[in-house]
Amino acid sequence: MAADLFESMRTMRTIRRFEKREIPEEVLLEMVTAATWAPNGSNSQPWGFLLVREPGLKKALRDLYLARFEPAEAAYKAIAAASGGMNPQQARMMRGARYLAEHLDDAGVLVFPCVDKHRYPMIFDEQGKPRDPVTLYATIFPAVENLLLAARARGIGGCLTTILRFADAEVREMLAIPDHVETTVMIPMGYARDKFGPVVRRPAREVTYFDRWGGTLAGG
């Protein structure tokens, strides 16, 4: 599989609408393989990628997701209203988010990137809490980005969501995730019905500081 690195990153829009089409197992394994190439603490590789494809499970997760999405959507709209309303980009994003919530089971796979504490015990304390969340999450989210980039090369997109964080106990029970495994985001993924294309971002110069916070380039 060949793909241009910069073009893949530059055009990796969030995808929230999917074709109802299965993703072949070899493609799923290619995505996970790319994820495993990511840097991680002490090469401990404590990740586990739980891929949900069973239609009944996807529907049950959609119901759980939608029930937790609706209060989050209301809160987001209330915050936006208090500061003068949503701009067109925010309104488009919220429509997409609602579509996703209602059609979550259209995704070919729901990806749960997890961290197995047994594989990297030194970053957890005696109570099983991360000593420093930075160490924990620095070891899973670079892998998640690799997974998304590898998928992009196959026309497969997705969306990092944290809505199911509000239903973690139910998710764990539904998917048999044991206590020694940390859940993170959930990523619905599938062949993109939305178009990939250039992302809209602030320029690098506005978010780059030199030597001290707020420090600008010598050249201005």
Report the site for its own copies in 69-128 (rule: CB under 8 A). Answer: 76, 79, 89-90, 93, 114, 122
Binding its own copies (rule: CB under 8 A), the pick from 19, 51, 96, 193 is: 51
Binding its own copies (rule: CB under 8 A), the pick from 17, 45, 98, 196 is: 45
Q: Does 202 bind its own copies (CB under 8 A)?
A: yes
Measured from the CB atom, is 67 or 138 closer to its own copies?
138
Q: Choose the stretch contacting its own copies; rule: CB under 8 A; options: 35-43, 62-70, 98-106, 188-196.
A: 35-43
Write the secondary structure of 92-158 as one string of H (helix), E (strand) and C (coil): HHHHHHHHHHHCHHHCCEEEEEEEEHHHCHHHECCCCCECCHHHHHCCCHHHHHHHHHHHHCCCEEE
Q: What does R_g of the chain's alpha carbons equal in angstroms?
A: 19
Q: Which residues, including other chains, have CB under 8 Å from residue 185's CB and lie 6 or more apart?
A: 113, 144, 160, 161, 162
Report the site for its own copies in 134-193 (rule: CB under 8 A). Answer: 134-135, 137-138, 140-142, 144-146, 148-150, 153, 159-160, 162, 165, 175-178, 181, 184-185
Q: Does 207 bind its own copies (CB under 8 A)?
A: yes
Query: Could you give the 3-state DSSP secondary structure of residue 204?
Result: helix
